[in-house]
Structure 1
Amino acid sequence: MRADQILQPTHEGLYCIPGDFHIDPLRPVHRALITHGHGDHARAGHGSVLATAQTLDIMAIRYGEDFTASRQIADGPVRIGTTTVSFHPAGHILGSAQIAIQPDKGPKIVVSGDYCRRANPVCAPYEPVSCDVFVTEATFGLPVFRHPDPMQEMSRLLASMAEFPDRPHLIGAYALGKAQHVIALARRAGIDGPIAIHGALQRLCDYHQAQGIDLGPLIPATAADMPSQLVVAPPSAFSSPWVQRFRDPVIGFASGWMQVRARARQRGVELPLVISDHVDWPQVTQTIRQLNPSEVWITHGAEEGLMRWCALNGFAARPLRLVGYEEEPE
C-alpha cells in the first residue's frame, strides 16, 4: 500500500483511509485526531477526539466541556481500523504532539503538526520519530528565517525596560503557548516580581501553573497602581480601547515574523522580539536530514522553498496545499 493510499488531503483536512479518521480537521468530522490546541488545528464539534490529555484539557478550557461528544486520551499506541497510531512530543506548545501512523501494510507516516526543535520551558521537547513519510509544516520554510536564541531577545527586553523605566512594556503574545513562553523566559532572564497579564490569558496561565510550569507571580493588568513594568497581552488587545489605559507604552511583539521588519512597522511595534514556537529554516532542514524519510510532504507555509531544498538534497517531496491553517498569530 502506497502512502497516498493511506493518507490524503481532503476539504476537511488530512484523512487516513485505513483508520477512517482525520488529523486536525478544518470542519466537524466523526473522528478527529488533534495535534495541539491552537484554534487552526483544534476545533469543536467533532464526534470524537483523540489527543494528549493536555490538549483535551486546553480544548475544554477554550470551547467548553461539551466541545466533543467523546474524548480519548492518547497515552500509548491506539488501534484504529487497520492502523496503530501513537502521539509523540512536538515541542510547540503544552500538550503538542506529532502523530505517527503505522498501517498493517504500508509505510509509516509521521504527521508533525506544528513543531519546534529549540528547548521551550513550557512544554516537552521535540522527539524525533523515524518514519518513511514525514509530513512537515513550512511556516518559516525559507533560508532567511534563522531565529536567534530567545534569551538574547529577552536581553533586549530587559535593556529596554532599563532604558525606559517609566514606560510600561506591553508585549503582544498569542494567548496559548507564546504568552506562557514569554513569561517563562522573562523569569529565566531574572524578572522575579509580578508580571501583569491581560484577562484573556488568565485561565490558560492558571492551567500551565496547575501542570507544574512555574510562571511566578502574575497580576491583572487592570490592577490599580499596577506594580509591574512588564505586561503580556494577546495581539488583539492592541487594536482595542484596552491599550489606552497605559501611558506612553513601549509596544512589543513576540513572534518569529518579527524578523521581517516590514511586519513590525505595519503593527507599530517599537520592540520586535523574534521568539518562535515553530522550526526555522535550519531546524526544518536538520529534521529532514536526521529522519531521512523516503518522502517529505509539506502541509502549509513556504512550500516551494522547502520543495526546492528537498529536490537539491535528494528527498522526494510533495506539497499538500492544505488551507485554513496559520489563521492565528504565530
Structure 2
Amino acid sequence: MIRPQDLLCPKPEGLYCAPGDFYIDPVRPVARAVITHGHSDHARAGHGAVLATAATLDIMAERYGLAFAEARQAAAYGERVDRDGVEVSLVPAGHVLGSAQAVVRWRGLTMVVSGDYKRRRDPTCPPFEPVPADVFITEATFALPVFRHPDAGHEVGRLLRSVAQFPDRAHLVGAYALGKAQRIIALLREAGWDAPIYVHGALERLNALYVRHGVDLGDLRAATTAAKTDFAGQIIVAPPSALQDRWSRRFPDPVSAFASGWMRVRARARQRGVELPLIISDHADWDELTATVDELRPGELWITHGREEALARWASLHGVPARALALVGYEEEDED
C-alpha cells in the first residue's frame, strides 16, 4: 500500500517528492523545484530547474534576474507534467498573480500542496480551485478564530470615506510589494476611484509586470513628481517599511494606513503607528481555512506553517486526521 510519506515528505529543504526527485517551494537551493508563487519565502533563487506558472517565472526573473535558475519550465494551469513517473499539475490558488497549488499524483495517490491561498475574490488573479485529494497540505497563517476578515470592498470603502473626510491630507497606504499593492489599486478602481494613484518607486516594476499580464491598474504615477501640496486628497501606495521612513515626510499630514490581515490585531496597528488599519489579506482566514477542509474532506490534512495546532485540532474534531509539519523558512507575510 502506498503511503502519503512515500510520495511527499518534509525535509530541511522543504517538501520532497522522492519518486519524482523534486522539492516544492524549497527554502534552500535544490536540483529540481516546483514553485507555487513568487513571494520570496516560497520562491528563492539558485535552483537547478524550476517548474512554475509563466507569471511566477516572470516575477522571479524580475526580482532575482534572468539567471535565477539554471533552467525553467512554464506550466499553464491544468497542464500535466511528468517528473519520473510522478504527474504534477498547477491549479489556481487565488493568492497573487501566478499563484498555484501543486497537485501531485502517483500510483493512484493524489496530494495537493496549497502554497499560500485565499478564497476571497481578487481582481488581479484567478480564484482558488478546489481539487479533491487524499492529502491536502495547507498553510495556517491566520488559523485562529479571531482572524475573520471583513469584505475587502468594505475596507476600501473605509479608505475612500477617510479621503473624503480629510481632503487636505494625503493617504499613505502600506501594502506588500507583490500582490497586495496591485490588489489594493485594482479594488480602488472597482470602487470608482479613477484619479491617479501615486506609487513608491519600489512598486513600479511589479506594477508594470501585472499590467503586462493583463491586469488593468489605471493611471499610476511616481510619488516623486509633485509638490507637497499637490498630494492633498491623494492616495499613495508604498511598501509597509516606507510608512515610517523619511520618504513619507514629503506628503501633507499623511494618514497612515496599512492593508494586512494582521490589522485585525489592534496591538499590531498601534505598534506600527497605523492610523487607518485596513484588514485586507491575501491569505485565507479562519473561516476560509476550515470551510476549505470541510469542502475537500481529504483523507489527511497536513499543515505546513502558521497556527498549526488550532487548525489540526479543528480538523480532528471534524473527522479529518491532521498533522503539523512545522516547516521552517516561511514567513507570516511577504514584507519585501
Aligned to 2:150: 148
Aligned to 2:177: 175
Alignment of 1:161-200 (within 5 A): 161-200=163-202
Contact 2:198 2:237 in 1 (8 A): yes
Q: Which moved more, 1:217-226 or 1:168-177?
A: 217-226
Contact 1:194 1:218 in 2 (8 A): yes
Give the Cα–Cα distance (whole angstroms) in 2 for the partners of residues 212 and 111 of structure 1.
Answer: 27
SS of corresponding position for 1:182:
helix
Q: Which moved more, 1:204-213 or 1:24-33?
A: 204-213
Aligned to 2:303: 298
Aligned to 1:36: 37
Aligned residue among 270, 274, 278 for 2:283: 278
Contact 2:80 2:87 in 1 (8 A): yes
1:97, distance to aligned residue in structure 2 (A): 0.1
1:82, distance to aligned residue in structure 2 (A): 2.3
Give the Cα–Cα distance (whole angstroms) in 2 for the partners of residues 80 and 132 of structure 1.
Answer: 20
Residue 269, structure 1, aligned to residue 270, structure 2: no
Give the Cα–Cα distance (whole angstroms) in 1 for the partners of residues 173 and 20 of structure 2.
Answer: 43
State the Cα deviation string for residues 95-124 of structure 1 (Å, max 9, x = none): 000000001x25210000001111100001
One-letter code aligned to 2:325? L
SS of corresponding position for 2:23:
strand
Q: Normalising to structure 1: TM-score of the pair?
A: 0.98
One-letter code aligned to 1:85? V
Residue 114, structure 1, aligned to residue 113, structure 2: no
Q: Which moved more, 1:91-100 or 1:158-167?
A: 158-167
Alignment of 1:179-258 (within 5 A): 179-225=181-227, 226=230, 229-258=234-263
Q: CA RMSD in A?
A: 1.2
Residue 311, structure 1, aligned to residue 332, structure 2: no
1:207, distance to aligned residue in structure 2 (A): 1.1
SS of corresponding position for 2:47:
coil
SS of corresponding position for 2:89:
strand
Residue 329, structure 1, aligned to residue 335, structure 2: yes
SS of corresponding position for 1:156:
helix
State the Cα deviation string for residues 252-311 of structure 1 (Å, max 9, x = none): 000011011000000000000000111111111111111110000000111010011011
Give the Cα–Cα distance (whole angstroms) in 2 for the partners of residues 285 and 244 of structure 1.
Answer: 43
One-letter code aligned to 2:335? P
Please list every run of 5 or more consecutive structure 2 residues that lacks an aligned counterpart in the other structure: none
Give the Cα–Cα distance (whole angstroms) in 2 for the partners of residues 173 and 185 of structure 1.
Answer: 13
Give the Cα–Cα distance (whole angstroms) in 2 for the partners of residues 256 and 318 of structure 1.
Answer: 25
Aligned to 1:69: 70
Give the Cα–Cα distance (whole angstroms) in 1 for the partners of residues 65 and 86 of structure 2.
Answer: 30
Aligned to 1:22: 23
Contact 1:3 1:106 in 2 (8 A): no
One-letter code aligned to 2:47? H
Aligned to 2:102: 99
Q: Which moved more, 1:245-254 or 1:171-180?
A: 245-254
Q: Which moved more, 1:106-115 or 1:220-229?
A: 220-229
Contact 2:168 2:252 in 1 (8 A): no
Please list every run of 5 or more consecutive structure 1 residues that lacks an aligned counterpart in the other structure: none
What is the aligned residue count? 329
Give the Cα–Cα distance (whole angstroms) in 1 for the partners of residues 182 and 131 of structure 2.
Answer: 26
Residue 157, structure 1, aligned to residue 128, structure 2: no
Percent identical among aligned pairs is 62
Give the Cα–Cα distance (whole angstroms) in 2 for the partners of residues 240 and 156 of structure 1.
Answer: 24
Contact 2:177 2:335 in 1 (8 A): no
One-letter code aligned to 1:34? I
One-letter code aligned to 1:19? G
Contact 1:2 1:106 in 2 (8 A): no
State the Cα deviation string for residues 225-273 of structure 1 (Å, max 9, x = none): 3456100000121232211212311000000110110000000000000
SS of corresponding position for 1:311:
helix
